[in-house]
Amino acid sequence: MKRILFLFILLGFISELAAQPKRSGKVKRKYRNVEVVNENLPEVLVHGLVINFPGREPVAGATVVVRGTRIHVNTNEDGEYFLTGLTTGINSIMVSHQGYRTKIIDYYLQEGNNDVHFTLDREPIILEPVTVTAQQREQHLLEVPSGISTLSGRMMENVNLQSMDEVAGFVPGMYSRIQTPHRPTFSIRGLTSDEVSPNAQPRVSVYLNQVPVSRASMAVHELYDMERVEVIRGPQGTLFGRGAQAGAISLVTKKPAPGFGGYVTAGMGEYASQELQGALNLPFFGDKLILRTSGVYKYQDGYVENTFGGKLNGRNTIGGRFALRAAPSQRLKIDLMVNYQKDDLPGTAFMSQRFPNVNGVNDIFQYEASLEQGENLFNRREVLGTSMDVRFFRNENTYWSSFTSLFNNTASSRWDGDGTRAPAIDMAENVDVRQVTQELRYNFSRRSRTNGFIGLGYWREEVSQNYWFGPNEQHMAYLFLQMPEYLIAPDGNAWPMTSLPDDPRLGPLAGLPLPSSHEEENRSTALNQSADLFGDATWKVRPRLSLTAGLRGTYENFRVTNESLMTGGSPSVLGMLAGNQPNLFFRPANLTEVQRSFFSYTARAGLKHDFNSYSNAYLGYARGRRPNVIQFNSAGRHEIMKQEVLHSFDAGFKMSVNQRFWIDAGGFYQLYRNFQTTAWDSVSVNYLIHDAGRATLYGAEVTAKAAVSQFLELFGNYAWIHARFDSLDSQGNPQEYAGNTFRLTPEHSFSVGLHGRLRIHENLEAFMVPVYTWKSHIWFEDANIPGLEQAAYGMLNGRAGLEMKKPALTLAITGSNIMNENYLISGGNTGTMFGVPTFVPGPPRMLGTRVTLRF
């Protein structure tokens, strides 16, 4: 710990010294392949602004290079840059960014400050300019030496991407499954999050405007008024902190910007769907104070009819965002943001494929369920988050940042665990989360050759998680006694078992009457805290060779409590057989507390070689980690799982051709130790996290785009993932899941699409954006249980319509699952514990219309 602390202090001291002005010294530079050493030359400083034409808007993330040297920076979000380490005389400065013509200026620099501004012209036929902040500073996508995908707000609108489960179709190697808003699943390169314990941390980190919202119950947000979505694949613990073992999803909303503007969108469609969203940007006091406010409302009837009342798998969401930017001086910028979202949704259609509904139908794609709780089934969630970002600039590329956030979240859900009309498994969950984060970061540019950041952070999370079970034991008995075939009679009815069989094997329990009402709860809380020290930087070793390295040290403290109790009804009779009486699932246990502390580190290192300004190759290594998990079994005994460690190796190639063609191709090899997987524990009668030992994963990912003409753009991606559990564990013992494929991991997947436009009039264009996605076979459980799987399938979505320039009006027709493909969102779920797995059908074809007015 002391060594790592000393390392960060030393790095901060060096960066501070580098930022101090120097009036003389030794300058070594290479220009036009001639290396010259100059003694005692005066300090030369270059400040500049890069804007576009004709909009005269700042170009963030543009690359500014002094040709023939290692001097290299990127413009910040205001299009500004700062250069040091130059000499007086003629210097050749080049500025480039995808979507703009590269500009080179031979400028005579004088001692002291020099202002060198650039105006970049848009190419007539180009791909959309892309700026990312994956490395905590504005950069072009080409410069990030790792697998990264980005979806701009414009592209999201073009393809009608409005929810997080749709993002995966545009990211190679990513899979998403959202059954309920408080239990989403995101998988990157085969790694899927499981939060069984309230202290378990996700493997895929979700950030909203640089604030971690990785806890599953907070991770899903409506995608409206978006700037972009970035998905960084592979371990990102150094850059994004905890919960980024497999990758990170960064949601960036639109910030307040100079000028008045906004938009309004209204839509309607099948299943009584309704949509209304909009945003308004208002500047005050000459752009010293800017307000942006936005909101969204979405409603849709459930696409599954419940014969016992109500509909399932619908949506009813309202959200709002308030953003305020204050710039009282050139050196100080303050951003305040408040996000709110409320989901009041019907229940999830966990349906049985084995037993028919009350109408004798067992085809779940008839979208008719018989779940006896009817309208009592629900999914509810409310999230309120406030964040503040304060930046103090020493110069355009060197500044202090303070990020403070407070997020509150409550979520609750009730579902039918057996998927039939029988009242066998009735369950509910309530989650309450309070999260506070504070981060202090120093971004530096050392003589415009080494660009990076150092910092420290604090994270605190209070989690309350309650599971409620209300089984009717007169029906639950068929499952508990391993007689699931009798749960539903051939005529579709559910007949109760009023008492245990008069079987001598049951001993004194034989013939005992079974209660029809029993309620029990398992209550857990966790206080999770961590403190981080971190640093990451890119050093220009040579004009075309860059070295990137980062390290993050983390101290964690977890305090977890657990208790189980009977809360209503009659004592369980089946619980006598399980040894948990008077409960069935969880043995009554007094409040127990377990507290543990851990120290860990994550790291990364990589090399990038630029063949020219538009292509490069990179190699990288990263160490990822999932923290230790403290969990309790049904008997109330705790267990501490080992930390999960991932060693990841990446190699890739990126190229932009004439700013019209883009390709990003890479391969990866990953080794897992102490792999944590969720499995049904027959002894404790509960889902628990198990150490599945070792696993190996490798594969390849490709993303390509092409601006064929001014009116046609093509795009697509492909991923191949070979994800298997090893034969032996670290002790050389055979593994339970040896040779199994990771769950929710199709071996092959791809998506292709086009954006075509047709000019009807100088003020009117027609457009069409079809997108087809395909996935190979998918297992729903790491155990690879036959039947709990999804065969290969493809799906076509699309958007088409008319767009006017003046007024800026767009009328569109949208369609999802246009070919009406039958596919499963999930399979297995709670019913798997007792031999009655349930399945959630994916939505059928849905068509709608939208109109958008921009001003």
- Stated as kind and residue range, the H or E segment containing 482 is none
Which residues neighbour 644 within 8 Å (Cβ) at sequence distance 6 or greater?
245, 625, 626, 672, 673, 674, 675, 676
Q: What mean pLDDT is predicted for residues 196-202?
A: 80
Q: Among candidates 440, 458, 459, 438, which has minimal Cα distance to 526?
A: 459
- Taking only the tens place, the pLDDT of each residue in 518-558 is 999 999 999 999 999 999 999 999 999 999 999 999 999 99
The pTM of the full predicted model, rounded to 2 decimals, is 0.90
Tokens of 22: 């120097």
**What confidence category does residue 123 fall into, taking pLDDT thresholds of 50, 70 and 90?**
confident
- Taking only the tens place, the pLDDT of each residue in 677-694 is 665 554 444 555 566 678
CB 753 within 8 A of CB 773: no
Report whether pLDDT(813) > 80.
yes
- Taking only the tens place, the pLDDT of each residue in 224-246 is 999 999 999 998 888 988 778 88
Q: What mean pLDDT is predicted for residues 399-427?
A: 96
Q: What mean pLDDT is predicted for residues 794-798?
A: 97
- Stated as kind and residue range, the H or E segment containing 135 is none
Q: Amino acid identity of 262?
A: G
**What confidence category does residue 659 fall into, taking pLDDT thresholds of 50, 70 and 90?**
confident
CB 90 within 8 A of CB 110: no
Q: What mean pLDDT is predicted for residues 204-216?
A: 87
pLDDT at residue 678, as a whole number: 61
Written as one string, the DSSP assignment of 271-334 is TTEEEEEEEEEEEETTTTEEEEEEEEEEEE--SEEETTSSEES-EEEEEEEEEEEEEEETTEEE
pLDDT at residue 643, as a whole number: 85
- Taking only the tens place, the pLDDT of each residue in 445-473 is 999 999 999 999 999 999 999 999 999 99
pLDDT at residue 689, as a whole number: 57
Report whether pLDDT(27) > 50.
no
β-strand pairing of 368-369 with 304-306: parallel
Report whether pLDDT(641) > 70.
yes
Compute how many other C-beta atoms are within 10 angstroms of the C-beta atom of residue 55: 9
Q: What mean pLDDT is predicted for residues 512-517?
A: 95
pLDDT at residue 224, as a whole number: 95
pLDDT at residue 9, as a whole number: 40
End-to-end CA distance of the chain: 55
Round to whole Å and give the CA distance between 445 and 431. Answer: 43
Q: What mean pLDDT is predicted for residues 803-808?
A: 94
Average pLDDT, the chain: 89
User: Which residues in 347-397 belong to E strands, given as ranges?
Assistant: 351-352, 368-369, 378-395
β-strand pairing of 289-300 with 315-329: antiparallel
- Taking only the tens place, the pLDDT of each residue in 671-680 is 988 876 665 5
Q: Report how far Cα 149 is from the mean position of its chain's Cα atoms.
A: 12
C-alpha gyration radius of the chain: 29
**Dihedral of alpha carbons 647, 670, 597, 556, sign:** positive
The dihedrals phi and psi of 170, each to the nearest 5 degrees, come to: -110, 10
**306-335 as b/e, with b when 16 or more CB fall inside 10 Å?**
bbbebbbbbbbbbbebebbbbbeeeeebbb
Report whether pLDDT(203) > 60.
yes
Report whether pLDDT(28) > 60.
no
pLDDT at residue 681, as a whole number: 52
Round to whole Å and give the CA distance between 253 and 110. Answer: 41
Written as one string, the DSSP assignment of 625-694 is EE--EEEE-TTS-EEEEPPEEEEEEEEEEEEEETTTEEEEEEEEEEEEES-EEEEEETTTTEEEEEE---
SS3 label, residue 514: coil
**What confidence category does residue 56 fall into, taking pLDDT thresholds of 50, 70 and 90?**
confident
pLDDT at residue 679, as a whole number: 55
pLDDT at residue 554, as a whole number: 95
CA separation, residue 535 to residues 158, 233, 452, 567 (Å): 37, 20, 8, 50
Report whether pLDDT(308) > 70.
yes
Round to whole Å and give the CA distance between 523 and 565. Answer: 9
Report whether pLDDT(258) > 80.
yes
- Taking only the tens place, the pLDDT of each residue in 473-514 is 999 999 999 899 999 988 788 999 999 999 888 888 899 999
pLDDT at residue 20, as a whole number: 41
Longest dimension (CA), the chain: 101
DSSP one-letter code for 198: T
Report whether pLDDT(399) > 60.
yes
SS3 label, residue 578: helix
pLDDT at residue 36, as a whole number: 37
- Out of 205-219, 257-271, 284-298, 608-622, least confident range: 205-219
CB 348 within 8 A of CB 415: yes
Question: Which of 53-67, 157-171, 427-441 is most confident?
Answer: 427-441
**How many CA atoms lie within 13 Å of 288's alpha carbon, on the beta-carbon side?**
6
CB 75 within 8 A of CB 15: no
Q: Among candidates 42, 46, 44, which has minimal Cα distance to 24?
A: 42
Report whether pLDDT(747) > 60.
yes
Q: What mean pLDDT is predicted for residues 728-741?
A: 82
Report whether pLDDT(107) > 80.
yes
Q: Among candidates 454, 529, 397, which has minimal Cα distance to 238?
A: 454
Which residues neighbour 674 within 8 Å (Cβ) at sequence distance 6 or greater?
641, 642, 643, 644, 645, 691, 693, 730
**What confidence category does residue 184 fall into, taking pLDDT thresholds of 50, 70 and 90?**
confident
- Residue 807: asked if its preceding bond is cis (omega within 30°), the reply is yes
Report whether pLDDT(10) > 80.
no
pLDDT at residue 674, as a whole number: 81
Q: Among candidates 787, 800, 797, which has minimal Cα distance to 828?
A: 787
For residues 641 and 293, the model is more confident at 293
**What confidence category does residue 11 fall into, taking pLDDT thresholds of 50, 70 and 90?**
very low
Report whether pLDDT(12) > 80.
no
* Burial class (CB within 10 angstroms; exposed 0-12, middle 13-18, buried 19+) of 107: middle
- Out of 1-10, 357-366, 764-773, least confident range: 1-10
